[in-house]
Amino acid sequence: MRLATMTAVACGLLLTAGTAEAQRELILGHSLSDTSHYGIGAKAFNETLEELSDGQFTVREHPAGSLGGERDMIEGLQIGTVDLVITSTGPLGNFVPETYVLDLPFLFEDYDHARAILDSEIGQELLDKMGDSELIGLAWSENGFRHLTNSRNSVREPQHVDGLKIRTMENQVHMDAFRELGASPAPMAFPELFTALQQGTVDAQENPITVIVATKFWEVQDHLSLTGHVYSPAAILASPVFWSELSEEEKGWFQEAAAASAKATRDEVSRLESEGIELLRDEGMEVVTDVDVAPFQQQIQPVYEAFEERHGSEMLERIQAFER
């Protein structure tokens, strides 16, 4: 009887150990708070993955740049110290130059246009290109259309941007565009931005409403201009280090989880686009809605010419010719 009991206990311990070994917790990093649209996307990813894998895989979210800036996290993917990242395309062009096309100013007409292109074969080709740089592209998520905030003056025309020292992402297309407008771009990692604005190291920054709300930029910026100058997608990326260990079925779980994450994030972006502007007004920001974008478009045309010289025109022409 005693031997039978001991055998049963031993079998139970072995079963428990086997189950523990089968479970794997993965690290997912992003630059925003856990209540932001990225945070909502991360939770949707985890819930979907845990359900599909029957608990074999779970995700631990590391928000608010706790793993470093976006460039740091992408480099972490390449060497396997980070498993998953939700990132803007800002630093991504440094790794996958083909994605620079998405950062061209005034390229996309509206959200439906941008989402349709990223969900088409064009978007899939760009995700596939990431494999050339030791990255796995799972899905296109979203930040939204980028707008300009600053602490000095209202911006309605290009001349109002002249002289502003503006934080940009480490993105050549963005920096070139603001130079054409007479601003002084100052690229820095996102976790450093709030303090830089607070201390007056930079006058301005540009981000979608989602990020402006999530980061409470109204505390350090007085003016918001709805320039909508760039559509900002986000990419859900995986490390090839752990990806290579997965079966085809398991890879399918991660792809479904990424799709669920992207949908949850886009839904939150849509909600904040309709509600966030009023919240920013209530928090004391002056919101300029009557921005005439035509002069901005005309002044940044050299950015398109420089892009074509560096990267060719094929993908740009395909996007411009895309029909919904």
Predicted pLDDT at 70: 96
Digit-coded pLDDT (tens) for 77-134: 999 999 999 999 989 999 999 999 999 999 999 999 999 999 999 999 999 999 999 9
Q: What are phi and psi of 58, to 5 degrees?
A: -130, 165
- Cβ atoms 143, 208 nearer than 8 A: yes
Predicted pLDDT at 318: 97
Q: Where are the alpha helices (DSSP H) in the chain?
A: 2-22, 37-52, 70-79, 111-118, 121-129, 172-180, 193-199, 209-214, 240-243, 248-282, 293-299, 301-311, 314-320
Would you list the DSSP string of 29-54? E-SS-TTSHHHHHHHHHHHHHHHHTT
Q: Map out the domains of the chain as residue ranges.
A: 24-320
Residue 16's pLDDT band, with cuts at 50, 70 and 90, is very low
pLDDT at 11 over 90: no
Predicted pLDDT at 324: 83
pLDDT at 191 over 60: yes
pLDDT at 166 over 70: yes
Q: Whole-model pTM?
A: 0.89
Over range 162-184, report the average pLDDT: 96
Architecture of domain 24-320: 3-Layer(aba) Sandwich (3.40)
Digit-coded pLDDT (tens) for 285-313: 999 999 999 999 999 999 999 999 999 99
